[in-house]
Chains A and B, each alone.
Chain A
Amino acid sequence: MSSSILHTEKLCKTFSNGGVQQHVIKNLDIDIREKEFTVIMGSSGSGKSTLLYALSGMDKPTLGKVFFGNEDISQYSNDELAVFRRKNCGFVFQSIYLLENMTVFDNVMTGALVVQKNSAELVKKAEELLKKVGINEEIWKKYPNQLSGGESQRVGIVRAVINDPKILFADEPTGSLNSASSCDVLDIFTDLHKKGQSIVLVTHDLKTALRGNRVIFISDGSVAGEYEMLPYGTDDIRKRRDGLQDFLDRMGW
Chain B
Amino acid sequence: MTEMNKIVRLSVFNIKKHKLEAFSLTILIMFCMTLIGSALSSGKSIKTIFPYVMKKTESYENYLMIYEKNFDNDFMDIINEDERITGSEHSNFLYDMSTKYLDSNGDEKALYMGFITKDNEEKLERFRYRSSLSEEKIASLRHPIYMPFIAENELSVKEGDTFSMVYGTRKFDFEVAGFYNTLFLSNSSMGMKFVVTDSDYVVLESILNKYELIAFNSVKGSDNADIFDSCIKRCEEYSQRDLMSGLMGMTYEGFRENTTATTKILLGLLIVMAVVIIISVAVMIRFRIAGDIKEQIVSIGVLEALGYKSREITLSYVIEYLMIAVAGVTIGVAGCFVLSPALFSLGEMMSGYQGRDRIFIAPILLSAVGLLALIALIAYIRASMVKKYPPVQAFRKGIGTNHFRKDHLPLRKTKKNVHIRLAMKGFAQNFKQSIGLTLCITLSSIAIVLSFILYSFMGKDMNVIAANSGIEMSDLRVTFMNSADTKDLYDEITEMPEVRKVLMTSDAENFVTYADHNQIMLPVAFDDFSETENIFPFEGRFPEHDNEVMFTSMWASEYKLKVGDTVTIEYNKVQRKYIISGIVTCLTNGGMNLYITDAGYKRLVPTYHHNTMEIYLKDGTDATDFKNMLTQKYGRSVADVKQDADSSAPYEERIKAAAEKKIAELMSVYGVDHVEYAIQSGDKMITGNSSGFRIRSVQNIGDIMRTQLSGLCSAVSIITKIFMFISALVVMVILFILMESSVRKQRKEFGIMKGMGYTSKELMFQLAARIMPAALFSVISGTVVSVLSTNSLTSFIGKVEVNIPSLIVLDICLLAFCFGCAYLGARKIKKISVYELMTE
Contacts and interface: CB of A to CB of B under 8 A. Distances in A.
Interface of A: 49, 53, 58-59, 78-79, 82-87, 89, 91, 93, 95, 97-103, 105-106, 109-111, 113-115, 117, 119, 123, 126, 141, 143, 145-146, 159, 171
B423 to A, nearest CB: 13
A105 B760 contact: no
B407 interface: yes
A110 B753 contact: yes
Interface string B744-785: 000011011111111111100000000000000000000000
14 contacts: A59-B834, A78-B759, A82-B754, A82-B759, A83-B757, A85-B756, A86-B758, A103-B410, A105-B412, A109-B412, A110-B753, A115-B757, A119-B414, A145-B403
Contact of B759 (A49, A83, A101, A105): A83
A109 B762 CA distance: 16
A86 B410 contact: no
Given A79-B761, A85-B757, A86-B756, A119 B407 contact: no
A114 B757 contact: yes
A91 B755 contact: yes
A152 B429 CA distance: 22
A24 B760 CA distance: 27
Contacts of A102: 411, 425
Nearest to B414: A119
B757 A105 contact: no
Nearest to B833: A59
Nearest to A111: B756
Contacts of A141: 407
B35 to A, nearest CB: 39
B838 A171 contact: yes
Contacts of A103: 407, 410
Contacts of B833: 59
A99 B747 CA distance: 11
A113 B830 contact: no
Given A85-B757, A119-B414, 15 more contacts: A82-B757, A82-B759, A82-B762, A85-B756, A86-B757, A91-B755, A95-B838, A101-B749, A102-B411, A106-B410, A113-B414, A114-B418, A114-B758, A123-B412, A145-B403
B670 interface: no
Given A97-B752, A101-B402, A143-B403, A119 B412 contact: yes
Contacts of B758: 82, 86, 114
Contacts of B425: 102, 106
Contacts of B411: 102, 105-106, 109-110, 113
B137 interface: no
B413 interface: yes
Contact of B752 (A83, A99, A113): A99
B429 A101 contact: yes
Contacts of B13: none
B422 interface: yes
Nearest to B430: A101
B677 interface: no
B839 interface: yes
B831 to A, nearest CB: 10
Contact of B838 (A79, A87, A93, A101): A93
Interface in B703-749: 748-749
A97 B755 contact: yes
B413 to A, nearest CB: 7
Interface string B125-147: 00000000000000000000000
A53 B838 contact: yes
B402 A87 contact: no
B535 to A, nearest CB: 61
B420 to A, nearest CB: 11
A58 B410 contact: no
A126 B412 CA distance: 10
B388 interface: no
Nearest to A145: B403
A79 to B, nearest CB: 4
Given A97-B752, A123-B412, A79 B418 contact: no
A111 B422 CA distance: 12
A145 B403 CA distance: 7
A143 B838 CA distance: 21
B347 to A, nearest CB: 54
B756 A119 contact: no
Contacts of B817: none
Contacts of B402: 100-101, 143, 145
Interface string B811-840: 000000000000000000010011100110
B415 interface: yes
B414 A82 contact: no
A57 B281 CA distance: 42
Contacts of A114: 418, 756-758, 762
Contacts of B407: 103, 106, 141
B399 interface: yes
A113 B411 CA distance: 9
Nearest to B837: A97
A166 to B, nearest CB: 13
Given A53-B838, A93-B838, A141-B407, A79 B759 contact: yes
Please give me the 3 A-B residue pairs with the lowest Cβ-Cβ distance, nearest first. A86-B757, A113-B418, A109-B411
